[in-house]
Structure 1
Amino acid sequence: MAVDEQDTCSGVGCCQVSIPSGLKNQTVMLTSPTNRTGIWDSNPCSYAFIVQADRFEFSRTSLQLMNNKSLLPAVLNWEIGNQSCDAAQKSEGFACKRNSTCTTVGSAGYTCKCMPGYHGNPYHPDGCQDECKDSNPCPIGTCINLPGNYSCKCPEGYKNDVMDEKKCIKDNNSSKIILPLVISLGASGGFLLLMVGSLWIYWGMQRRKFIKLKEKYFKENGGLLLQQQLASQGGSIETTKLFTAEELEKATNNYHESRILGEGGYGTVYKGILPDNSVVAINKSKVNGAPAQSDVFINEVIVLSQIKHRNVVRLLGCCLETPAPLLVYEFIVEGTLSEHIHKKIGKRSSLSWELRLNIATETAGALAYLHSSALMQIIHRDVKATNILLDEHYTAKVSDFGASRLIPLDQTQLTTLVQGTFGYLDPEYFLTNQLTEKSDVYSFGVVLMELLTSKVALSFSRPEEDRNLANFFVRFMEEDRLNEVLDDDIVNERNVETLKKVAEVAKRCVRLKGQDRPSMKEVAMELEGMRVTPKQPWGKSEVSSPEDTEYLLGSAMNSDAYFVDVRGDFGSRGATIGTTSGYDSIQIQMVMPYDGR
């Protein structure tokens, strides 16, 4: 085609035309009206081509530059069918697949393209794919897919470009942040390590201090002497066990208040459960003993632990690692004699006379054993109804040796500070401070009077001259009015004579002068002779069936009548401490409940 002098292709000598949209067929013919061979050198222009509009611009020299071109860019636009997107989406065979959109081309037909954030072939059966799935479009960082888009999570030291969040650029401020952070973490770690080390050292020092303190208490309480005594016996003292402080803390749940069985002037008694599930009573003293008395205390522990009598509560062992020694006793379940004969805690019937006489006889036998048959003579010094416990068979158990004293066999009396409970206290001992076995005889006589009358040993609700049961009882006997003070529930035609004989024994026990009183051995023998054992299969002191129990306890007995309420986790069984309401005591002793053996 001819080239005009102008930088245009107006159609004279050359022509340039756009291919219209929607064109389906186009034929281009190139002809020359004259033979241009002669002027080929001066104007060798004879071209026809299709080219992308924005890739070619006509000029005087553009055609000459075409001499070296064999390929030119071209764009072929195509479309599907002759329907718009709206019509095609409603017909079968719609070509646009998942994650793609439809675009109407011109007046007819449509094409498909992937939605933003997706790539691939929109006509493929699987449709367009997530850009982060098959490849990572982020040059730096990790691709994070978003609905219809994606973003790039930049690595440490980089940040997202403000202009393009898909682009990560170097963060020059990161080192300024990281360095102080590293320093801060290092300092915190070092401080934490220092604290842990300091606490470890402190804990170790405290533990060593605690161990030394336990060793100190152990020595002060006579632990070394006890170990020597045990070694000299060749291990024959099997019943004396040394418990550790940790063992007893664990057994009592760290001396939790729910485990308290009784409290008194000397301390508190707790229920303890040992690792073998055996139940014990643990006496925790409130008063620290003087180190000078440790020898006497250890001797008492050894002697008391050797007492093997069915009517004496057994001392199982002790703990010497605390400021005051802890004593561990067997546990007795049915509470104190006082609670039964005085109908405490809602009891509706009292013990029958036969059972009362059995308890009195067993108690007298136990005291006689302590006075004459033990390794050393033991004076209880606080015999009273609250210190006589009953096991599940209502067998008597003498308890609470907190005030007891050992007397060498070659001595008959001992000078001590007066201790005991008003109402039971021997007046001769009170006046002279001379303690003898006859002091226990006097106290036992008062217990006999309680068994006969069901009245407390000391009561301020009675007239002044009758507050002391011993004086009250003896006066009525001398006035031949014994029947007026006896408990009506225990009197019947068969036992009147026995009641009178027991009353005579009680009267002799409370004579003012100790030398005029019988010994506990004599009292035990007399009571044994008066005891009438019913012809029942259980023997002399055990109850083996509900019917037998009812026979001994009385016809009005209720099945719950003799369960003794207790603080803590015993339910309806156990025992409480106690001095009887209204007692005036020089020293209040605590009653230690135990489980029967």
Structure 2
Amino acid sequence: MMSLKMELVLAAVVLAYLQSFVVSNLQGDALSALKVSMNVPDNQLKDWNPNQVTPCTWTNVICDNNEHVISVTLSGINCSGTLSPKIGVLKTLNTLTLKGNGITGGIPKEFGNLTSLTSLDLENNRLSGEIPSSLGNLKRLQFLTLGQNNLSGAIPESLAGLQNLINILLDSNNLSGQIPDHLFQVPKYNFTGNHLNCGRPNLHSCESHNSDSAGGSHKSKTGIIVGVVGGFTVLFLVGGLLFFVYKGGHKGYKREVFVDVAGEVDQRIAFGQLKRFAWRELQLATDNFSEKNILGQGGFGKVYKGVLADNTKIAVKRLTNCESAAGDVAFQREVEMISVAVHRNLLRLIGFCTTTTERLLVYPFMQNLSVAYCLRERKPEEPVLDWTTRKRVALGAARGLEYLHEHCNPKIIHRDVKAANVLLDEDFEAVVGDFGLAKLVDVRKANVTTQVRGTMGHIAPEYLSTGKSSERTDVFGYGIMLLELVTGQRAIDFSRLEEEDDVLLLDHVKKLEREKRLDAIVDRNLNKNYNIQELEMMIQVALLCTQASPENRPAMSEVVRMLEGEGLAERWEEWQHVEVTRMQEYERLQRRFDWGEDSVYNQDAIELSGGR
């Protein structure tokens, strides 16, 4: 007969199991209700099965180790319904992102029950009604994004009690009345495009505000805040001085030199379902990561071609330097951040897989591989990238980078822009890949000291010397990529040592441009089938992007405009003036130290002595 003690222990175990079962069911019911109320299209969220015990395997849902839902991201999936109040049962949820849909109706007051929430993003929907005062219960909330909706009424005074807010965006609504004074103390805010009373004259402004570390502020030209403060920014600022010494080289040298690497928003695009894949699933898809399925290898790891059970072709990036199990949740959050960057010229993330020793990212397979492949590695029977396609690639890649820099929140710095990371879909449209991966790898490291990342020849000089990266380091890399497109050559080519001193493609092109030898710059594979004026324009844009001083380089939005034919002539005239002055100074210094054969200073006399 079972003892009373054993009966109590068994009862406790059964009770714990039942509680877990009930929690899982409640979570699944709440998410299923959200799917139904939002009127999610039939081709989306197919694996959201309400009969499953746990929703933790569903796409776009992330759980913690106790199978509590902590993140739900359903951006840009073409919904047309409303928000279900049942979402309020998800007490462990800390990230809810429903941006870029067609959601109508109001924000249920039950959203105030999501007390673990740190980020709520309902931007760019058709939400109406008032902002519920219950959102004041979200004491952990750091990011509140309700911009570009049809919300009306006053901003609830209760929001003034959200002491952890670091970013509040309520722009482009129909809000009216007084803005709670405390909200002007939030480091980043945007109240533009409403009918709000912004406070006493000269005291406050409805316009977007971005506090720097010194307590100052600046206004965004577009009125939309990009970036976040604190920790996010730190990951993009790297320290240390890194010196590289090039020694030797021979004709036909083809390998790229990697540095310390383990390695127009379009709402019509359906957001890729972020799925958590099982390791076995990807192992089978890639034939156990067979060498014959390797598509490429870069600083972040190898990329494998794969085929899922439903015959979907995928590309699996197997990240390196991921032995530690710590930081799994942080990695998932960074993956989620990258996954919400949705643009026609950015590579869509399908899903990911994590184990104690592995980190893998899953993308759609790009049929025409990369720009680098098409320029330099294509098979004889494969077509040459014609001039029209190269122009389209240049503009598409620029638009993708512009979106990362100026429309993502927080903004994303690529840090390894090059032809190998610009992929081509079935229509040869440019798709920028590998964005955000430097940050993903960094977040895996304990006591992280971020180091310079990128590929030699593509790295901006200030990043190489100081370790500090910014949007303008990407602009430099983009400029080098443009030169790759025009010339078909690599950023570094040691074979040029036998003919000239310019190992770097940038120096080689600058020299030819000064000599007005554009015909010697362009890729011979084009067989002279190009427009000379367009060629000149693309070279000019590339040289503006690769100026030594980052402050002189254009932003990617300006690059887009110049490629579209606006503002290039003025910028090029300025650049030529600076370049002429620089060359004159260089020649002056050369003459100063050019003593000649008859000089009392014989060159042999000043050579360093050898061993004695």
Bigger relative CO (Cα 8 Å, ≥ 6 apart): 1
* Structure with the greater alpha carbon radius of gyration: 1
